[in-house]
Amino acid sequence: MSVNSFGRIFRFTTWGESHGPALGAVVDGCPPRLALSEGAIQPFLDARRPGQSKYTTQRQEPDAVRILSGVFEGMTTGTPISLMIENTDQRSKDYSEVAAAYRPGHADYAYDAKYGFRDYRGGGRSSARETAARVAAGAVARLVLPEVEILAWVSQIGGDAIDPAKFDAEEIGRNPFFCPDPQAAERWAELVDVTRRAGSSIGAVVECVARGVPAGWGAPVYGKLDADLAAAMMGINAVKGVEIGDGFDVARLTGEENADAMHPGEQGLEFEANHAGGIAGGISTGQPVRVRVAFKPTSSILTPVATVTKTGEATEIRTRGRHDPCVGIRGAPVVEAMMALVLADHKLLHRAQCGG
Amino acid sequence: MSVNSFGRIFRFTTWGESHGPALGAVVDGCPPRLALSEGAIQPFLDARRPGQSKYTTQRQEPDAVRILSGVFEGMTTGTPISLMIENTDQRSKDYSEVAAAYRPGHADYAYDAKYGFRDYRGGGRSSARETAARVAAGAVARLVLPEVEILAWVSQIGGDAIDPAKFDAEEIGRNPFFCPDPQAAERWAELVDVTRRAGSSIGAVVECVARGVPAGWGAPVYGKLDADLAAAMMGINAVKGVEIGDGFDVARLTGEENADAMHPGEQGLEFEANHAGGIAGGISTGQPVRVRVAFKPTSSILTPVATVTKTGEATEIRTRGRHDPCVGIRGAPVVEAMMALVLADHKLLHRAQCGG
Amino acid sequence: MSVNSFGRIFRFTTWGESHGPALGAVVDGCPPRLALSEGAIQPFLDARRPGQSKYTTQRQEPDAVRILSGVFEGMTTGTPISLMIENTDQRSKDYSEVAAAYRPGHADYAYDAKYGFRDYRGGGRSSARETAARVAAGAVARLVLPEVEILAWVSQIGGDAIDPAKFDAEEIGRNPFFCPDPQAAERWAELVDVTRRAGSSIGAVVECVARGVPAGWGAPVYGKLDADLAAAMMGINAVKGVEIGDGFDVARLTGEENADAMHPGEQGLEFEANHAGGIAGGISTGQPVRVRVAFKPTSSILTPVATVTKTGEATEIRTRGRHDPCVGIRGAPVVEAMMALVLADHKLLHRAQCGG
Amino acid sequence: MSVNSFGRIFRFTTWGESHGPALGAVVDGCPPRLALSEGAIQPFLDARRPGQSKYTTQRQEPDAVRILSGVFEGMTTGTPISLMIENTDQRSKDYSEVAAAYRPGHADYAYDAKYGFRDYRGGGRSSARETAARVAAGAVARLVLPEVEILAWVSQIGGDAIDPAKFDAEEIGRNPFFCPDPQAAERWAELVDVTRRAGSSIGAVVECVARGVPAGWGAPVYGKLDADLAAAMMGINAVKGVEIGDGFDVARLTGEENADAMHPGEQGLEFEANHAGGIAGGISTGQPVRVRVAFKPTSSILTPVATVTKTGEATEIRTRGRHDPCVGIRGAPVVEAMMALVLADHKLLHRAQCGG
């Protein structure tokens, strides 16, 4: 019931604050005898790592992961895998303003209301820096899913969406926006740079597809694959919306328009469409699992915003610091990690009840 | 870890199939000494009950709830509250077609792929009839939340949305659509009737607001209030999208546009807006908690759709039966119930860790 | 986290009070396609059923189980199995004395201290009658364990133990004491009858062995097979001690005396002894899993005992009612059921992580 | 459901192997604003620390704990508390014998049977070294329990028990055996030294009492305080038996002998005896909570014992290494820690459901 844990069988727990000595994840329930080393995790952390372009926060962190347990002679042992990432760029800074007043849109006030107290340095536990631990855990989850290919990308920044006709998976790794449409990437470079220079921020949409998920994963009625994905995605910092398959668009459709007709195919069932996003009744159908996730603009902006001090007086705050002008960009590797974590868990859960 | 249970402290488990003898919920963790009787639950079931207008399924079920345990002398005892609803209108019917072929958009194929077997009568466990158990459990959850007012309504059917300027909470109970805009209700009467007579179906959007939630409920980072709400809503039958606050709209905004500026007020903090939907960092802020939920059109339609038989051959299926032309309508009481269930759980969870 | 649920994958939830309309269990996580009918459960309930000899309580209950969900065409569907047992012999009785004063040794005072309130009729939820639900759930668990043979018996009543040399498994079903030693059974008939006629009660020890458990079930370090068995057994009404293998005797031994030497055998590993009770490091070794459980004498006796009223005044109470003179006797089928429930859960948990 | 986690609300997860770089615990659910520093944890680790007398293993470990998260300005923040202890004395050693053959009584064979693979260095995850993480977590649990005083001691080594009449709590800290009877401590010095010099080992019994637990903690029927204590204790390495209150002795008693008569007292209820060990119906009664725990002799002995190699051939093994001749001695601080962890969890769980 730990609120800092996620998953049922393949279950991970994260710990750590933005400006503490380190952060980490403990992954429990991982099957034994899977090849694992720090080198298998690091590339995923590097993809999420800040400070790699001018479009993300300039905090410089190597985000080097250490495996402290659960691996012996290069293989998982079946016991908890402890992953630790040291915080190295805890820039000494004056936090007195943030300590005294609540940053609107941030969790400052909510944490204080809940705990009567908060670690105000860089947002403490509420910092998106915690997602590094999820990405590390997600890299372990992928070991459990050799049959599944997971891909996430940014499909929209502000009001500017990619052209689906120009989707090229190869492009995603070639630009700093995880953008599959090279022309959109060029436009976004301008858009994000203008935003950054204005000390402003902007929202984004991330999409993720998992191919190769067999029919049968997911567990009705409160362990549905789509419900677990919704929790996984909505729990990522700055996320305000989640869609499975066609999402909100289906509200406008008729049953005929929304039907995913089926035909016998050479390799089993074939579907005419995938409005459902690969999930029916909470169980995978064998089609690609599709998720869309909305990220709000970072709340940290240079424009002063009216707020309240800890003692209840009116003030204004402008957030200096080193912030992502578009936090959704670095959200893509996190969405990918959460997809892997949910699927790994459901694969094992399905095996528990149904064998195979 | 039971996949048919939901909640952490205030936790309920549901059981039952569409055409079995009964269905029910076991509510565990409810505080003692709360006044509870069947009469306190029945009105919520009646609101969700089918067969009350021509706009919903014509299945006739009294949905009379019985309390089998956990209440003594009219008060909760702190022990599990067992709620049972008998199925009375299990119309004897020929299910051979549904048994033999998979209805597109339904969970038929996914259940068979998972379990190698399925109760095909009325969808078995995947039937939306299961949500009656959630509504019953939700009525108990409300006892825990005297300070909170929860209201859900249908805000859109197909492409036709209400006019927010005409929102009148009193109207919601006056029409068969849970519609707060009387003019929209009139238009929908026509729209849904046409849809029904055509043997078609149509999607909808349900919105829900909880007022009176104090700041401090919700638990970072994998027990976030918004993440739990997302799971609760996405797990409702036919739901494909969930938004908190402004949802997907925030992806288009700048940080300045999305800011919820704060001011000192007479009764504590006041906010200029509520883009965040009452939740920051996964914790309630004291503002109204706002959720939007997209329902797909019922997959059961009279137009034949291509599908596959259990043995893999091509066929067509048209679903006769008694179905909701717009399943989202009866989704409103279910969304309301899930909101209550999540909030009750988080109230107790907050009390566990932080007292108060 | 429901406190009225037990198990991780194969998980059951029980509900119901001694004198409510019914009690039951919801079994979740059961694999699909196992043959199940009420007839497969009833014999286990009959073994535990009261009123079958003068050595147990004279409460007359048919304890007829009904399956309300989760079974279709005689097979489990993989969805929750709801089991219900109606209470029929809720003898109308004057409970005013029990309502007003706390019965020593019973949970009366503790329930009042916890909940500020209690269902005093027959002990309410604290009644051993709740164990009927465990026995019903245990019968389902056995379906998951075709390779395992579980046997429980009473090995001691009061100070009178069986002679291990006279152990005869066939005898267990032939006497009303679940006693494998026919001579002990004769002595106990006299002992329990004298106890009963004196309005007194007496303690007992139950032993249980599970044969056929393969090596590898159990999960270090907080899901150990022996730790889960300890919780399962200690949670049975009136139990005050649990031993695995040689239990407390090992405290007196040296390492040499306690060693379970191993040899290669024709069918794999062979052990010289089984001091460990079939579990090492929390994981099964392939040897028989052995548990011993101590039951206290029923607290309900005719001799008046000093106690306190609800309002804090001194009084005396003697418990009339229909009580077991030796509650440990009817504990044997419950111990057997809990063994099955723990093993079924660990079989599935092992399969989840390690396959096979 | 993580099998390396324990607790419901106050929940901790441990990780680490005997010879890995470090081990640790993540404590989740701890209330905020409790004073915590490494100095508050270290004394408990020091009490359990090996190498302090000739009666325990000569492995030299400083067991210095570091707090990596969850504490800010000397107070708990309500977020996960990550505790790490580095392994410094991972003596380079030839493990080829242990790698090739199974040590009888150890978890070697069971781990291999489960995972197909094991970290054989010092027992890996099955090593009692893992209990250091429990002791660290237990020190945090004590912060939640200012009203409770917990004391554990060794009451028996081999066949030699303390004289209860000579019980002196002050003595416990004065000898290397956690022995409250100074004369027994002298006898044990001889007994354990003889055992150690013979390369043998010996069993022990540890007792633990918690005073100040109010009536009302514990949650029927599968979250009983005694059931959770049984799991907590049976899950400690080398434990084979657990008793609550009078334990197995009650099996020999009559209801009259076992009665805990109650009287009105100046400060509330007074009991004549405490056969029940402070728990009735799974709920605390306000009396001292009493537990007895049996530890087997360490399986590592110098006498060769017949065993089997990984490839199934007969061999003999004698365990050199640095081992405790009586592992029960260092079990006392672990029992104390587990008592604190269970009580802290139940205090918060009670508050969740019943307030106060």
Q: Where are the domains of chain A?
A: 5-354
The candidate with the shortest Cα–Cα distance to A84, out of A141, A16, A140, A28, is A16
| Beta carbons of A276 and B105 less than 8 Å apart | yes
Q: List chain A residues with CB under 8 Å of B300.
A: 255
Nearest-CB residue to D348 (from B78, B220, B352): B352
pLDDT of residue A192: 96
Burial D213-251 (b: 16+ CB within 10 A, else e): bbbbbbbbbbbbbbbbbbbbbbbbbbbbbbbbbbbbbbb
Q: Nearest CA to CA, how far is D344 from chain B (Å)?
A: 11
Tokens of B89: 């209108």
Nearest chain C alpha carbon to D304: C256
Q: Nearest CA to CA, how far is B39 from chain A (Å)?
A: 27
What is the percentage of chain B residues whose pLDDT exceeds 90?
Answer: 87
Q: Nearest CA to CA, how far is A352 from chain C (Å)?
A: 4
Chain mean pLDDT for chain B:
94
**Binding positions of A for NADP(+):** 48, 54
Crossing angle of the two packed helices D225-234 and D327-354, in degrees rounded to 10: 150
Under 8 Å between Cβ of A66 and A38: yes
Nearest-CB residue to B4 (from A4, A222, A258): A222
Q: Read out DSSP for A110-167?
A: HHHHHHS----GGGGGGSGGGHHHHHHHHHHHHHT-TT-EEEEEEEEETTEE--GGG-
Model confidence at D323, pLDDT cuts 50, 70, 90, reads confident
Sheet containing strand A239-244, edge to edge, reads: A160-161, A149-157, A204-211, A289-295, A239-244, B239-244, B289-295, B204-211, B149-157, B160-161
- DSSP run (H or E) holding A209: strand A204-211
Q: What angle do CA B193, B194, B200 make, to 5 degrees?
A: 100
Q: Which of B298-302, C150-154, C301-305 has the highest average model confidence (pLDDT)?
A: C150-154
Candidates D1, D192, D202, D248: best to mutate against C (most CBs of C within 10 A) is D248
Cα gap D52→D46, rounded to integer Å: 9
**Has D5 been labeled as part of a binding site?**
no
- The torsion angles phi and psi of D148, rounded to 5 degrees, stand at -110, 135
Candidates C4, C160, C252, C338: best to mutate against D (most CBs of D within 10 A) is C252
Q: List chain C residues with CB under 8 Å of B4.
A: 26, 28, 79-80
The DSSP letter of residue D197 is: H
Q: List chain C residues with CB under 8 Å of B8.
A: 1
| Beta carbons of A68 and D118 less than 8 Å apart | no
- Is D234 a residue whose pLDDT tops 80? yes
More confident residue, B92 or D144: D144
pLDDT of residue A54: 81
Q: List chain B residues with CB under 8 Å of A338.
A: none
| Beta carbons of C221 and D283 less than 8 Å apart | no
Half-sphere exposure of A248 (CA within 13 A, CB side): 20
Q: Of A241-245, B65-69, C47-51, C267-271, which gets the smallest average pLDDT?
A: C47-51
Give residues with Cβ within 8 angstroms of B35, minimum separation 6.
Answer: B74, B75, B143
Model confidence at C257, pLDDT cuts 50, 70, 90, reads very high
- Is C4 a residue whose pLDDT tops 70? yes
Nearest chain A alpha carbon to B298: A255
What's the average model confidence in pLDDT over D89-109? 84
| Beta carbons of B254 and A195 less than 8 Å apart | yes
**Binding positions of B:** 48, 54, 125-127, 237-238, 281, 296-300, 322
Cα gap D347→D354, rounded to integer Å: 10
- The torsion angles phi and psi of C108, rounded to 5 degrees, stand at -50, -55
Q: Global pTM? A: 0.97
Nearest-CB residue to B260 (from A104, A261, A295): A104
- Is D49 a residue whose pLDDT tops 90? no
Residue in the structure block whose two tokens are 């200029």: B272
The candidate with the shortest Cα–Cα distance to A255, out of B301, C89, C304, is B301
Model confidence at D52, pLDDT cuts 50, 70, 90, reads confident
Q: Nearest CA to CA, how far is A3 from chain B (Å)?
A: 5
Nearest chain D alpha carbon to B31: D353
| Beta carbons of A31 and C78 less than 8 Å apart | no
pLDDT of residue B59: 73
| Beta carbons of A17 and D117 less than 8 Å apart | no
| Beta carbons of B124 and C77 less than 8 Å apart | yes
| Beta carbons of C158 and D264 less than 8 Å apart | no
pLDDT of residue D346: 98
pLDDT tens over chain A, length 356 residues:
689 999 999 999 999 999 999 999 999 999 999 999 999 999 999 998 877 788 887 777 889 999 999 999 999 999 999 999 999 876 657 788 888 999 999 999 999 999 999 999 989 999 999 999 999 999 999 999 999 999 999 999 999 999 999 999 999 999 999 999 999 999 999 999 999 999 999 999 999 999 999 999 999 999 999 999 999 999 999 999 999 999 999 999 999 999 999 999 888 889 999 999 999 999 999 999 999 999 999 998 999 999 999 999 999 998 766 678 999 999 999 999 999 999 999 999 999 999 97
- Is D143 a residue whose pLDDT tops 80? yes
Q: Nearest CA to CA, how far is D194 from chain C (Å)?
A: 12
Nearest-CB residue to C352 (from A9, A32, A79): A9
pLDDT of residue D321: 65
- Is D3 a residue whose pLDDT tops 80? yes
- Is D91 a residue whose pLDDT tops 70? no
Report the top-level CATH class of C5-354: alpha beta
Q: For C12-34, write each residue's pLDDT tens digit.
A: 999 999 999 999 999 999 999 99
pLDDT of residue C95: 81
Nearest-CB residue to D68 (from A1, A11, A21): A21
Under 8 Å between Cβ of C171 and C182: yes
Nearest-CB residue to D115 (from A23, A32, A115): A32
Model confidence at C1, pLDDT cuts 50, 70, 90, reads low
Q: List chain B residues with CB under 8 Å of C14.
A: 80
Under 8 Å between Cβ of A302 and A200: yes
Candidates C15, C75, C76: best to mutate against B (most CBs of B within 10 A) is C15
Nearest chain D alpha carbon to C268: D312
Q: Please return the burial class of A312, using the count of CB atoms within 10 Å of its CB with bins 0-12, 13-18 and 19+.
A: exposed
Nearest chain C alpha carbon to A1: C1
- Number of Cβ within a 10 Å radius of residue B190: 10
Chain mean pLDDT for chain C:
94
| Beta carbons of D352 and B348 less than 8 Å apart | yes
